[in-house]
Amino acid sequence: MTGIVISMFLVMGANAQKADKIQVVRIQTNGTCQPCKEKIEQGLAFEKGVRDVEYDLATAIVKVTYNAGRTSVEKLRKTINKLGYTADGQEAEKGKKAECSHSKKEEKHSCKEGDGHKH
């Protein structure tokens, strides 16, 4: 009976450690349109340890739920930079800067194609 109780505590302890590694970070970026939103969300979704990504166009903040044992905030920022966007003031990688302009009056979207920014 004692062995069962000890086993239950070990399993519960292991699950608590895994849960403790799940964290949420909010990163300020500069995507301004739906294609930018999709690119950022999809790009981050494929990173190891990322559980969920939500990008709010109104605030330009991407909320990432991730496993801190598999990735870090710095890696997440670098991924955003590689996609061509700023991340908490950190500039996009040289030659990969995404340049979008979205006119709400005309409801048109235009992008200057550059490395890393394709629709």
Q: What is the mean pLDDT of residues 15-19?
A: 52
The answer to the question of residue 41 being in a domain is yes
pLDDT score at 5: 47
Which of 12, 7, 80, 73 lies closest to 41, judged by CA?
80
The answer to the question of residue 47 being in a domain is yes
The enclosing domain of 106 has a CATH number of: 3.30.70.100
The answer to the question of residue 7 being in a domain is no
Cα(64)–Cα(12) distance, integer angstroms:
26
The answer to the question of residue 118 being in a domain is no
The answer to the question of residue 5 being in a domain is no
The total domain count for the chain is: 1
Classify the C-alpha dihedral 64-95-100-43 as positive or negative.
Answer: negative
The answer to the question of residue 107 being in a domain is yes
Cα(11)–Cα(7) distance, integer angstroms:
6
Residue 18 has pLDDT above 90, yes or no: no
Residue 45 has pLDDT above 90, yes or no: yes
Q: Which residue has the tokens 């500039």?
A: 91
Percentage with pLDDT > 70 across the chain? 66
pLDDT score at 118: 45
pLDDT score at 105: 37
The answer to the question of residue 70 being in a domain is yes
Domain of 106 in residue numbering reads as 21-112
Is the pTM higher than 0.75? The answer reads no
User: Looking at 27-31, 71-75, 104-108, which range is the least confident one?
Assistant: 104-108
The answer to the question of residue 36 being in a domain is yes
